[in-house]
C-alpha cells in the first residue's frame, strides 16, 4: 500500500518537521542508484572535493542486526553501489546491538575497527568529539547539504562540522489491542495529533484497563529499556521541562517539570500499570510485552512495526491499532534513528565518503525505509509515495508524532556527552523505579550530566 509522505510532512505535520526536526533529508552520490552521474557542482557550491570521481577498493561496514527489512536495505545498497562502481567491495558485518559500540571502541583502540559503521544520533557525539570520525564536509556541496532537513543534518555535526550522514529517523507511538480496549469500555482513541490524550486522559485509560485485566496482565509497557533510557525525556518535555540549560552547558532537570515528570512515571509502578519487570535494566523490551500479550498497549518505535505485523510471528491478540504519545503542557517525542559514519583513519576515505553519499541517495534511501518501515531523511521523499512493507497507517502516526520533536530535543539529544548522559539516566531511573526518592534521583542525574558535559 502506498503512503504519501507529502500528506505527513507538508500537511498534517506542517513546517515543524521540515524546519524543526530536520530529520528527513539527504544528499546524492556522484553516482546515483542507477549508476548514472549526478549533476556537477556549481561554482558557488561549497566542498572542494564534492565531486569524488572514480573510486575503487574494499571497505567494511558494520551495523547491528535489526529487522529483515534493514538487512535487505543495506544489502541492496551494497549490491547497487558495487555495480555502479566496478572495482569496489563493501563487506557487510552484521553484529548484535548489545555490545555493538563496545566492540567499535575496542576496534578503534586496536586499529581494526570497521571503516564505516552505523550509530544512533544520541551516541554520535561520543565519537565526533573524540576526533575519530571522518569529516564529510569536503564531500558535500552546499546544494547537496540543503537536500537534508536542517535539524537532522545538524544532528551529525559537532562544533559545526558534519561527521557522517543522517540515514533515517524514527520515533515512538502507542500500539494497542482493540479487543482489550473494547473489553475495558474504551471507546475513543485519538485519531489526530491535536486530539492526543492528556496525561489525565491517559491515566483514565490505564485505570480502565487495570480494572478489566487479570492481575497477571497490565495496561501498558514503556520503551525506556537499556540504551533507550533517553526516551524517558519525552515525559520531561511534555511536562514543559528541559534536560539542559539553553546554552547546553548545565543540567536543568531539577525543576518543577522534572519533579512532575518523574513522579508521574514512578506512579506507573505504584499503580501497577506496567509489569514489575518493565524497568530500565530488564531483559524484556516493550514490544515483547505486547507480543506475549502481557500488556494491552505499549510504546514502540516505528522500526518495530514489521515485527508486530509479521503474519507468522507477529502479534496474535487480534486487531491492533496505533495512536499518539500523551501530552501534558506540550506534546513531545524522542529523536530516534541513526547516522552512518566513517573512521577518520580509514584507508580509503574517498571510497568511504562515496558509499555514505550513496546510502542517502534518493532511490537507495527510499527502498531502505520502505523495507525497514522507517522515516527517510530526504526532503525530496517528503513528496513521494512510499510503499511501506507493513502497516502504513502506523507509520502515519509516527510521522505525525515526529513533528513534536523540537529544536531543543534535537540539540539536547546530540550533545557530545549524551552517551554518558544516557548511562546516567539508565542507572538513576532504575533506582527511582525501585524506591529512590524523586529529589535524590534528579540530583544524582544532574551531577552526572554536568560531569558528562
448 Cβ contact list (under 8 Å, min separation 6):
420, 421, 423, 424, 427, 428
- 45 pLDDT more than 60: no
pLDDT of the residue at 201: 98
Parallel/antiparallel/unpaired status of strands 57-64 and 165-170:
unpaired
Residue ranges of domains in the chain, CATH in brackets: 23-169+337-389 (3.40.190.10), 172-334+417-452 (3.40.190.10)
pLDDT at 20 exceeding the cut of 80: no
The mean-pLDDT minimum among 14-23, 234-243, 253-262 falls in 14-23
pLDDT band at 65; cut points 50, 70, 90: confident
Rounded to an integer, the average pLDDT of 81-100 is 95
Which stretches does DSSP call E strand in 45-102? Answer: 57-64, 88-95
- How sure is the predictor about 21, in pLDDT bands with cuts at 50, 70 and 90? very low
pLDDT at 436: 97
Q: What is the pLDDT of residue 36?
A: 34
Tens of pLDDT along 184-230? Answer: 999 999 999 999 999 999 999 999 999 999 999 999 999 999 889 99
Task: Tell me what pLDDT residue 8 has.
Answer: 33
- Residue 376, C-beta contacts closer than 8 angstroms, at least 6 positions apart: 5, 24, 26, 168, 365, 366, 369, 386
Alpha carbon distance 274, 175 (integer Å):
15
Alpha helices in 271-406 (DSSP H): 286-291, 305-309, 349-359, 362-372, 392-401
Question: Which sign does the torsion angle of CA 215, 216, 219, 222 carry?
Answer: positive
Residue 388: the pLDDT is 92
Q: How high is the mean pLDDT of the chain? A: 88
Phi-psi region of 53 (alpha: psi -120 to 50; beta: other; left: phi over 0): left
Please provide the DSSP assignment of 149-216 as one string: -HHHHHHTEETTEE-SEEEEEE-EEEEEEHHHHHHHT------SGGGPPBHHHHHHHHHHHHHHS-TT
Grid coordinates representing 61 are 561496514
DSSP annotation of 220 reads E
pLDDT range class, residue 383, cuts 50, 70, 90: low
Residues in the chain: 453
**Residues 213, 219 contacting (CB under 8 angstroms):** yes
In the predicted structure, residue 347 carries a pLDDT above the cut 80: yes
Give the pLDDT confidence of 401-412 residue by residue, as tens digits.
Answer: 988 988 899 899
pLDDT single digits (tens) 142-184: 999 999 888 889 899 999 999 999 999 999 999 999 999 999 9
Of the pLDDT bands very low, low, confident and very high (cuts 50, 70, 90), residue 292 is very high
- pLDDT at position 399 is 87
For residue 255, the tally of other CB atoms under 10 A from its CB is 17
Amino acid at each position: 500500500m502506498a503512503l504519501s509522505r507529502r500528506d505527513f510532512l507538508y500537511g498534517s505535520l506542517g513546517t515543524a518537521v521540515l524546519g524543526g526536526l530536520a530529520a528527513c533529508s539527504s544528499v546524492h552520490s556522484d553516482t546515483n542508484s542507477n549508476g548514472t552521474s549526478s549533476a556537477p557542482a556549481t561554482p558557488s557550491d561549497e566542498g572542494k572535493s564534492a565531486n569524488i570521481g572514480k573510486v575503487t577498493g574494499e571497505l567494511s561496514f558494520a551495523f547491528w542486526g535489526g529487522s529483515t527489512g534493514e538487512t535487505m536495505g543495506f544489502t541492496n545498497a551494497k549490491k547497487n553501489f558495487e555495480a555502479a562502481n566496478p572495482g569496489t567491495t563493501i563487506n557487510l558485518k552484521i553484529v548484535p546491538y548489545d555490545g555493538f559500540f563496545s566492540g567499535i571502541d575496542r576496534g578503534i583502540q586496536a586499529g581494526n575497527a570497521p571503516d564505516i559503521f552505523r550509530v544512533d544520533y544520541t551516541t554520535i557525539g561520543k565519537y565526533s568529539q573524540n576526533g575519530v570520525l571522518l569529516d564529510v564536509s569536503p564531500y558535500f556541496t552546499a546544494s547537496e547539504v540543503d537536500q537534508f532537513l536542517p535539524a537532522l543534518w545538524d544532528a551529525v555535526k559537532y562544533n559545526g562540522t558534519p561527521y557522517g550522514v543522517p540515514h533515517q529517523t524514527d520515533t515512538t507511538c502507542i500500539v494497542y489491542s482493540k479487543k482489550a480496549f473494547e473489553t475495558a469500555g474504551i471507546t475513543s482513541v485519538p485519531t489526530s495529533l491535536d486530539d492526543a490524550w492528556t496525561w489525565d486522559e491517559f491515566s483514565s485509560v490505564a485505570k480502565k484497563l487495570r480494572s478489566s485485566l487479570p492481575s497477571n496482565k497490565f495496561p501498558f509497557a514503556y520503551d525506556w529499556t537499556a540504551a533507550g533510557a533517553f526516551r524517558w525525556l519525552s515525559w520531561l518535555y511534555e511536562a514543559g521541562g528541559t534536560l539542559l540549560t539553553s546554552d547546553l552547558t548545565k543540567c536543568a532537570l531539577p525543576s518543577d517539570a522534572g519533579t512532575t515528570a518523574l513522579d508521574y512515571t514512578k506512579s506507573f509502578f505504584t499503580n501497577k500499570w506496567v509489569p514489575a519487570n518493565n524497568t530500565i535494566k530488564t531483559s524484556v523490551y516493550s514490544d515483547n510485552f505486547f507480543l506475549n500479550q502481557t500488556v494491552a498497549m505499549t510504546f514502540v518505535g516505528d522500526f518495530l512495526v514489521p515485527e508486530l505485523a509479521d503474519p507468522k510471528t507477529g502479534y496474535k491478540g487480534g486487531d491492533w491499532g496505533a495512536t499518539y504519545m500523551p501530552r501534558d503542557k506540550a506534546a513531545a517525542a524522542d529523536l530516534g534513528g541513526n547516522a552512518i559514519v566513517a573512521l577518520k583513519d580509514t584507508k580509503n576515505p574517498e571510497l568511504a565518503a562515496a558509499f555514505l553519499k550513496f546510502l542517502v541517495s534518493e532511490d537507495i534511501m527510499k527502498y531502505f525505509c520502505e523495507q525497514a518501515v522507517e522515516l527517510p531523511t530526504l526532503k525530496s521523499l517528503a513528496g513521494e509515495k512510499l510503499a511501506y512493507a507493513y502497516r502504513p497507517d502506523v507509520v502515519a502516526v509516527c510521522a505525525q508524532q515526529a513533528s513534536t520533536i523540537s529544536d531543543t530535543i534535537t540539540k539536547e539529544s546530540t550533545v557530545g556527552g549524551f552517551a554518558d548522559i544516557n548511562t546516567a539516566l539508565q542507572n538513576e531511573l532504575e533506582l527511582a523505579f525501585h524506591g529512590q526518592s524523586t529529589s535524590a534521583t534528579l540530583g544524582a542525574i544532574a551531577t552526572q550530566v554536568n560531569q558528562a558535559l
